[in-house]
Structure 1
Amino acid sequence: MAEAAIPGSGSAASASVRQAVPDVNAPIWRNALFVAPYLFFFLTLLVVPLFWGVWLSLHKADAFGIGRFVGLDNYFRLFRDKIFLQVIGNTFYFVLLTVPALAVIGLLLALALNRNARTAAALRAVYFASSVLSVTIVTLIWRTVFIGNFGLLATVYGWFGATAPAFLSDPKLAMIGIAIATVWWCIGLPMMLFLSALQQVPREIYEAASLDNASRWGTLWHITLPSIRRTFVLVIIIEIVLQFQLFGQAWLMTKGGPNNASKPIVLYIYEATFIKWDLGLGAAASEILFILIMIAALAQYFISRRKGEEG
């Protein structure tokens, strides 16, 4: 004989089951332990120094400590300094020389080496090899190329009875020489990013284009470039952020000369902070560099995004 069901027992059992099963959408605060190490270094190495730099830029500070509060006086001093205005122009000039070159040359190399052949794989390694070198070795190589009278470039020009351009001593050519060395050094990263993007484009699209007798230029313009548009924007933004921070090449190749023609903002900050010991002025220059990088990167991002939406 079947046992009689106890009234209310089913609802009580279901309630206990619901209590036993945890809610997967409920926050579990102990999971924060997994991101705690990252948050610690993010705060101590990025956020805290950022606000500390702003605070420092508003004070008269030197190697002996922070002095009186001066407000925006350090910023006014910067914009009254002709050398600082010159180094801002130098930095923008360097970015204009390097960022488009890195993006275009990196894309062309990626298009040429986007194959499964062994030769293409070997050439990828060759072009990427320069990226793993230190700035000291890169500048040593290019000083050997550019140095007057005895450099490789002067030797090659001498074979034809010509005089090589003075990339390290001519104020008009110094930044161009540094840009050439930088493009050679940094070309590996944009090339690999473009290669990764090209390998994600479905092959079926290219097969359909070939069946429609599409030309190579048409395929590149209407299929390849739209497919890697986001990667192109990413490369531009990364290179803008990196090239605004020019320091090692300028310091080791020309020391910012001649006549400050190749001095970037970071080298100005280094001299103000660690040579003149004017920490407040160096902090103010650092904040201006941060603002310039942020504005340039955001402008490039929004312009590219708007073009993509219109297209």
Structure 2
Amino acid sequence: MTASSLKSRGSWTNALFVAPYLFVYLCLLIYPLIAGMGLSLFKADLFGGGTFVGFENFARLFRDEVFLQSVANTFYFVALTVPPLTVLPLFLALLLNRTTRVAAFFRGVFFSSSVLSVTIVTLVWRMILMSEGGLASNITALFGAEAIAFLSDPKIVMISMAIITVWWCLGLPMMLYLSALQQVPKDIYEAAELDNASWWRTLWSITLPSVSRTIILVAIFECVLQFQLFGQPQLITQGGPNGASRPIVLFIFEIGFRRWDVGYAAAASQILFAIILIATLVQYFVTTRRSRSEALAQPKVRGNA
């Protein structure tokens, strides 16, 4: 048997190992994506069949005030959650990047919220934030103040959703940062210490450039994740009051599974997919370009800052 035939046989053998994953990937991701794009061009319901309407569903969406409100709500929520979920975990990781028992205990405490289901998280926070009988209202009553309508005031309901989400999602990015910090060679810190570099100078010149890729990863991951907000408003406010907490995914759910207009819901899903894709690409290119320019302009670590 020739070398070329052996190489070809080895390639087919390797392909057999990858085939199960590719099959599942095509069935669960690629096919639904393509099918959803096709469905968005039809006026159809859950009972099958449909009429081809072209881009009429998309035109209806841009005239739909409820959909436009859900888009604004989603962008507002992302702006409220992604920066804290990028910065706060890094701050916690810097504090807890030690080999002490106290640091290990607090790592477990902060990560524990991430393993809770959305049902448990929303149940706990509903009991805290509800206007009548909630923990927050009882605390304000002790000081003679009026209870804050965290869940029924249109101006602050999305802020409440953001607080719940930041508390819930803080643990995973913190662990990613901890993993990245522990990969930084100790020799670099020892050299900076010998050069009498301050903690602040070490942070900006060594630590942050070393974990810059992880910062980009966390920012992109959280951006994609928070654009898909659904469980918190669905279980706590049902999108209210007056649609002030209805995100795009909840709009898609209501249109598809309550009004049974799956073609219209599929069109909204394609718009959400495009928004996430554009936001992720923009964030990736801007962040990577900035990190590269800062790395090129960064001076060597010498002397006190």
Same fold per superposition (TM over 0.5): yes
Correspondence 1:184 to 2:167: yes
Shift in Å, 1:306? 1.2
User: 1:148 and 1:37 mapped to 2: Cα distance?
Assistant: 51
- Contact kept? 1:110, 1:195, Cα under 8 Å: yes
Q: Which residue of 2 aligns with 1:274?
A: 257
User: 1:28 and 1:190 mapped to 2: Cα distance?
Assistant: 38
Letter in 2 for 1:115: R
> What is the correspondence of 1:52-67 to structure 2 with a 5 Å cutoff?
52-67=35-50
Per-residue CA deviation, residues 197-227 of structure 1 (Å, 9 max, x unaligned), is: 0000111111111111111111111111111
Match of 2:210 among 209, 224, 227: 227
User: 2:57 and 2:149 mapped to 1: Cα distance?
Assistant: 37
Shift in Å, 1:308? 2.5
Q: Which residue of 2 aligns with 1:104?
A: 87
Letter in 1 for 2:92: L
> What is the correspondence of 1:234-249 to structure 2 with a 5 Å cutoff?
234-249=217-232
Letter in 2 for 1:216: W
Letter in 1 for 2:149: A
User: 1:56 and 1:157 mapped to 2: Cα distance?
Assistant: 51
Q: Which residue of 2 aligns with 1:69?
A: 52
Q: Which residue of 2 aligns with 1:115?
A: 98
Shift in Å, 1:28? 2.4
Letter in 1 for 2:202: T
Mind listing any 5+ residue stretches in structure 2 that lack a counterpart?
A: 295-305
Q: Which residue of 1 aligns with 2:302?
A: none
Match of 1:143 among 126, 129, 136: 126
User: 2:193 and 2:146 mapped to 1: Cα distance?
Assistant: 50
2:51 counterpart SS class: strand
Match of 2:178 among 195, 199, 206: 195
- Contact kept? 1:131, 1:188, Cα under 8 Å: yes
**Residues 252 and 30 (structure 1), Cα distance of their counterparts in 2 relative to 1, 3 Å cut:** same
1:237 counterpart SS class: helix
Per-residue CA deviation, residues 67-92 of structure 1 (Å, 9 max, x unaligned), is: 12100000000000011111000000
Match of 2:74 among 69, 91, 103: 91
Per-residue CA deviation, residues 119-146 of structure 1 (Å, 9 max, x unaligned), is: 1011111110111100000000000110
Match of 2:200 among 206, 213, 217: 217
User: 1:57 and 1:20 mapped to 2: Cα distance?
Assistant: 50
Q: Which residue of 2 aligns with 1:3?
A: none
User: 1:95 and 1:189 mapped to 2: Cα distance?
Assistant: 17
- Contact kept? 1:145, 1:152, Cα under 8 Å: yes
Correspondence 1:300 to 2:279: no
- Contact kept? 1:178, 1:253, Cα under 8 Å: no
User: 1:159 and 1:100 mapped to 2: Cα distance?
Assistant: 33
Q: Which residue of 2 aligns with 1:8?
A: none
Shift in Å, 1:26? 7.3
- Contact kept? 1:107, 1:191, Cα under 8 Å: yes
* Percent sequence identity over aligned pairs: 61
Mind listing any 5+ residue stretches in structure 1 that lack a counterpart?
A: 1-17
User: 2:104 and 2:252 mapped to 1: Cα distance?
Assistant: 41
User: 2:173 and 2:2 mapped to 1: Cα distance?
Assistant: 53
User: Which deviates more from structure 2 when the two are superposed, residues 207-216 or residues 279-288?
Assistant: 207-216
1:66 counterpart SS class: coil
Q: Which residue of 1 aligns with 2:17?
A: 34
Per-residue CA deviation, residues 235-276 of structure 1 (Å, 9 max, x unaligned), is: 001001110100000111111000100000000000000000
Give the TM-score normalised by the residue count of structure 1: 0.91
Shift in Å, 1:309? 2.6
> What is the correspondence of 1:257-268 to structure 2 with a 5 Å cutoff?
257-268=240-251
1:62 counterpart SS class: coil
User: Which deviates more from structure 2 when the two are superposed, residues 198-207 or residues 27-36?
Assistant: 27-36
- Contact kept? 1:56, 1:66, Cα under 8 Å: no
Shift in Å, 1:64? 2.2
Letter in 2 for 1:209: A
Q: Which residue of 1 aligns with 2:301?
A: none
Per-residue CA deviation, residues 166-220 of structure 1 (Å, 9 max, x unaligned), is: 1100001111111101111110111000000000011111111111111111111
Q: Which residue of 2 aligns with 1:290?
A: 273
